[in-house]
């Protein structure tokens, strides 16, 4: 788990706490070693905190650095290796028009969300294949299943991630390798609790809690589910429409797409039904 923004940082931390409480042997990874030490001291379980291993890791550091990290990870629990790899890193920029994406932001997003994640997987998979078992749990996004106006580059990276890991599972499933792709919608964090559309205290966007997201992710992985969607409404309804009634789903997203970008620029609620139905005019 190597977080690159607030959302994945908190979900990764909650996942670590829940997995530790279930008795898992953990290796926790991120770029910031001090943050890893902080999280480690808060873990409670059969092997926590003293048995928890820390492995600083930057997904954008290149293949050689990632190879060294994989070799170290495989050696931290002699005779066991890595059974589950939870890919929880993501880089997401502030919402903006698809045409405003810079080359720098495009490369930075794909280096972390796609290239680094795939490279780490390619380096770890051979050891899993040798043992005849292994499980990749991939924290993707609802933006990897539906259009995400205002998040075109992030959405593109998640579509790429979904395509790679579903293909990987199909290739390696009979060799003992499992893949669970998790697609969360908006998640509640301590950063967005109590914020309304203007960013001030008031009615908040409807979000799934980080604790519930982590809990459902663990349930999905341990039950071997291939893909799971975790979201509140209206995002979950849109995901179903795009998946099963794509003509209607894409029509809906076309109707609200421009409005969503405008609302995002004003730091408003980009997950509101009002994007479709409009706001009531005041006298």
Where helices occur in 22-116 by DSSP H, the ranges are 33-42, 63-76, 103-110
Using CA atoms, how far apart are residues 229 and 69, in angstroms rounded to an integer?
Answer: 30
DSSP state of 204: P
Tokens of 261: 């970008």
Pick left, alpha or beta for residue 97 (phi over 0 → left; psi -120 to 50 → alpha; otherwise beta). Answer: beta
Side by side, the strands of the sheet bearing 84-87 are 84-87, 134-139, 177-184, 227-230
- CB count within 10 Å of CB 251 equals 11
Catalytic residue numbers?
154
């Amino acid at each position: 788990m190597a977080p690159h923004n607030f959302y994945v940082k908190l979900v990764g931390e909650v996942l670590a706490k829940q997995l530790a409480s279930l008795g898992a042997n953990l290796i926790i990874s991120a770029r910031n070693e001090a943050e890893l030490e902080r999280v480690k001291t808060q873990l409670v379980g059969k092997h926590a905190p003293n048995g928890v291993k820390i492995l600083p890791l930057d997904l954008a550091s290149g293949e050689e650095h990632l190879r060294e990290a994989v070799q170290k990870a495989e050696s931290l629990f002699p005779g066991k290796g890595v059974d589950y790899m939870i890919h929880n890193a993501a880089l997401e920029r502030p919402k903006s028009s698809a045409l405003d994406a810079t080359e720098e932001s495009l490369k930075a997003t794909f280096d972390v969300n796609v290239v680094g994640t795939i490279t780490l997987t390619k380096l770890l998979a051979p050891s899993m294949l040798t043992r005849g078992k292994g499980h990749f749990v991939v924290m993707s996004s609802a933006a990897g299943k539906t259009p995400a106006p205002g998040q075109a580059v992030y959405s593109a990276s998640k579509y790429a991630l979904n395509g790679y890991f579903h293909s990987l599972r199909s290739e390696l499933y009979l060799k003992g390798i499992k893949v669970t792709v998790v697609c969360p919608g908006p998640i509640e964090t301590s950063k967005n609790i109590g914020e309304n559309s203007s960013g001030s205290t008031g009615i908040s966007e409807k979000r799934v809690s980080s604790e519930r997201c982590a809990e459902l992710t663990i349930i999905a992985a341990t039950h071997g589910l291939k893909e799971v969607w975790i979201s509140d409404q209206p995002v979950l309804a849109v995901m179903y429409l795009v998946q099963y009634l794509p003509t209607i789903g894409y029509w809906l997203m076309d109707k609200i797409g421009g409005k969503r970008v405008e609302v995002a620029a004003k730091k408003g609620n980009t997950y509101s039904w009002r994007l479709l139905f409009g706001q009531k005019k005041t006298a």
